Amino acid sequence: MELGLVGLGKMGGNMRERIRRAGHTVIGYDRNPDLADVHSLGELVGKLKSPRVVWVMVPAGAPTQATVDELAELLEPGDVVVDGGNSRWTDDEKHAEELGAKGIGFVDAGVSGGVWGLQNGYALMVGGDAENIAKVQPVFDALKPEGEFGFVHAGKVGAGHFSKMVHNGIEYAMMQAYAEGWELLEKVDSVTDVREVFRSWQEGTVIRSWLLDLAVNALDGDEHLDKLKGYAEDSGEGRWTVEAAIDNAVPLPAITASLFARFASRQEDSPQMKMIAALRNQFGGHAVETK
């Protein structure tokens, strides 16, 4: 089939290549002309045969909204837009309504795989009507990993991005657990080869995972992570997961703590710990350190 792909960055560029390797035609547009096959969204739409499928891989929020708005004016009834970025599921409902008013279908696709997706395939969680998903299915089949798993029609519009959001929340908590265990192992004198302890867990243990494999890869490149600064950003989906948990009264203590740990990583000198030190000094006369 033919596919228009908007956004050819780290994810989008590799996705274009994987889809082409499966024998499909991909016409890509990016603001960077060095990456693009065409020079505008209008040219991209003009090169596709009807019914068209256009997959959007741009940052969530205003960039995605602007792209959807422009496509709404360019596409025709029966065409389909796929949002494969990290949009919030509430935006999906808005985009589906906007495009649906013009007879254009909408599918939201949560995509996991990162920089390894070209080689290993992408896990896909999609939401929308079965009729619209069927128009995109050959591309989903090209992108997914080999084997039985890696693709799911999760439900109605918004279900794909909601599922990917929860996936990322779980990822936060798993990474935090590995990080805490690694720090404790590094701290004690009795464990002399933390990297090999992590490597030993890759087979036969209940905590083996791809994230563990990646941790070992990182330690092979920098055994004590001396080259890195202990600073971690969050993509936004961790926050949305915690907000959704509050809205639905679902307890998420591990995921919430892992999100807050990332906030703590950005503080050179914790204001909270200053107050705790001051209070310990006030009620117990405990020593404090001064600048």
Angstrom distance (rounded) from CA 38 to CA 90: 31
Q: Choose the catalytic residue: 73, 93, 102, 164.
A: 164
Is residue 93 part of the annotated active site? The answer reads no
Please state the three-class secondary structure of the chain as a single string: CEEEEECCCHHHHHHHHHHHHCCCEEEEECCCCCCCCCCCHHHHHHHCCCCCEEEECCCCCHHHHHHHHHHHHHCCCCCEEEECCCCCHHHHHHHHHHHHCCCCEEEEEEEECHHHHHHHCCEEEEECCHHHHHHHHHHHHHHCCCCCCCEEEEECCCHHHHHHHHHHHHHHHHHHHHHHHHHHHHHCCCCCCHHHHHHHCCCCCCCCCHHHHHHHHHHHHCCCCCCCCCCCCCCCHHHHHHHHHHHCCCCCHHHHHHHHHHHHHCCCCCHHHHHHHHHHHHHHCCCCCCC
Is residue 171 part of the annotated active site? The answer reads yes
Q: Choose the catalytic residue: 135, 144, 171, 237.
A: 171
Q: Which residues participate in catalysis according to the annotation?
A: 164, 171
